[in-house]
Amino acid sequence: MTPSKASAQAADICKLGPVVPVLIVENADDAVPMAEALVAGGLPALEVTLRTPAALEAIAAMAKVEGGVVGAGTLLTHKDVEAAKKAGALFGVSPGATDAVLDAAEANDLPLLPGAATASEVMRLLERGYTIQKFFPAETSGGAPALKALSSPLPQVKFCPTGGVSLSNVYDYLALPNTICVGGSWVAPANLVAAKDWDGIKKLATEAAALKT
Ligand code: 3PG
């Protein structure tokens, strides 16, 4: 299976660091200092979830941060994909995969990390050329043992496990041959964002960037 262009580009983004921070930005004014802290800590690929009214403005602001590669997460519809692209997102992430989202990403030339949690979901995405997928929700879908089990029949697919991943279990995932990177919100926790503790977030990013894939 030749990887689709969208998947090949998503692979390049996943290789930028061991962790893709999953960001929930409530206040667009936080976007630039948050992105600067994460990039300075060594995590250039940033996923801003489209879950808050500030998300698109945050993506547009973060897109100007030097060294950052900002993407949009929680893409659920065709419109989400178009809005993300218009805001300046360089990649997209979806918790699952619908034809509408896949078609929109391909039509808008947006590298996409679509979500899958079962062998059938993985196979369906593979049929469309997605050799890089998000394993979501990772921990409640069986965690690292489930992901390891998928590597045997489906070695050609690499994953970014996300959902419940933290420092306490990240090595279980990173040790697997089919993990390309992981996603997680632990590097920008809500309490540090609320306190505007950008140094604290940079410290968490530095620690995460040192994890070995
Ligand atoms: C999400 O989309 O919320 C991600 O899966 C992040 O999950 P986490 O907060 O458990 O890291």
What's the token pair of residue 118? 């079962």
The pLDDT-based confidence of 8 (bands split at 50, 70, 90) is: confident
Paired tokens of 131: 């050799």
Cα–Cα distance for residue pair 140/155, rounded to 1 Å: 22
d(CA 134, CA 117): 8
Pick the closest to residue 173 from 136, 128, 200 (CA basis). 136
pLDDT beyond 80 at 115: yes
Mutate to test the pocket of ligand 1, among 20, 165, 169 (most ligand atoms within 8 A of CB): 165
Q: Does pLDDT of 44 surpass 90?
A: yes
The residue whose CB lies within 8 Å of the most ligand 1 atoms, and thus the one to mutate among 162, 169, 187, is 162
State yes or no: pLDDT of 4 exceeds 90: no
User: Where in the sequence numbering do the catalytic residues fall?
Assistant: 47, 134
- CATH class name, domain 5-209: alpha beta
Measured in Å, residue 189 CA sits from the centre of ligand 1 at: 11
Report the pLDDT averaged over residues 169-181: 98
Confidence check: pLDDT of 1 > 70? no
Span 72-93, mean pLDDT?
98
Question: Which is nearest to 4 in space by CA: 114, 100, 121?
Answer: 114
60-89 average pLDDT score? 98
Instruction: Compute the average pLDDT of residues 119-142.
Output: 97
Ligand 1 atom with minimal separation from the 184 CA: 11
Task: Give the percent of the chain with pLDDT over 90.
Answer: 94
Q: How many CA atoms lie within 13 A of 185 on its CB side?
A: 14
Output the six-digit token pair for 88.
């300046």
Rounded to two decimals, the pTM is 0.96
pLDDT higher than threshold 80 for residue 198: yes
Q: Domain coordinates of the chain in residue numbers?
A: 5-209
